[in-house]
Structure 1
């Protein structure tokens, strides 16, 4: 069992990524395509075109770490992209649902308190 201390923000790359990329290649995608800092402590999720492979890139206190998963059957269902098509921010619980094979569109969310945004 893999245990990650998940950061506050999780970004899913909406466009398919070449799964041959590793630390440097994925970091470049984060900087150039997602317009984020790979060393900021956020978690970045990538999948291939078929949707059966997934990689996570994150800063682990003293270096970058890459976690990969290949499905033997089925695909990962990512949320739809925003208008810019770059990245979608999801919660850690939503990432767990994606990894577990659950489609986010079919999940019914219960009402929860949200702190009002300061004006």
Structure 2
């Protein structure tokens, strides 16, 4: 079972994702589109559907991958603020919690320590 903590690294894919993709195709997206190594331990990769109602979370734990799918009934997930300096979003744990709970944030700032 996955326990998300503030010690993990959270990366949000900047482009909408086909929610039919499974672990292997999403790992390739992490490598090719996000420019990251999908095998980094304690890394969490977040993918959003075009409609913003479905999210997939690819987690790399110790010697295994896990995949979670979250679908909202009526609401939409919010998108984090895009930082032009990065090839993908990197968000902090508190933003991840707000994102997965479907909380709408009206103002979000990018912290330099999230780099």
TM-score by length of 1: 0.80
Of stretches 71-80 and 44-53 in structure 1, the one that deviates more from structure 2 is 71-80
RMSD: 2.4
Q: Matched residues in 1 for 2:15 and 2:86: separation? A: 7
Gaps of 5+ in 1: 109-113
Contact 1:14 1:80 in 2 (8 A): no
TM-score by length of 2: 0.82
Runs of at least 4 residues off by over 6 Å: none
**Where does residue 77 of structure 2 map in the other structure?**
76
What do the CA deviations read for 1:13-59 (whole angstroms, capped 9, x no partner)? 12101101011110010000000011102110001000000000011
Q: Matched residues in 1 for 2:63 and 2:87: separation? A: 27
> Displacement of 1:100 after TM fit?
1.6
Contact 1:17 1:48 in 2 (8 A): yes
- SS of 2:3's partner is coil
**Where does residue 91 of structure 1 map in the other structure?**
92
> Displacement of 1:70 after TM fit?
0.8
Q: Matched residues in 2 for 1:106 and 1:67: separation? A: 27
Query: How many residue pairs were aligned?
Result: 109
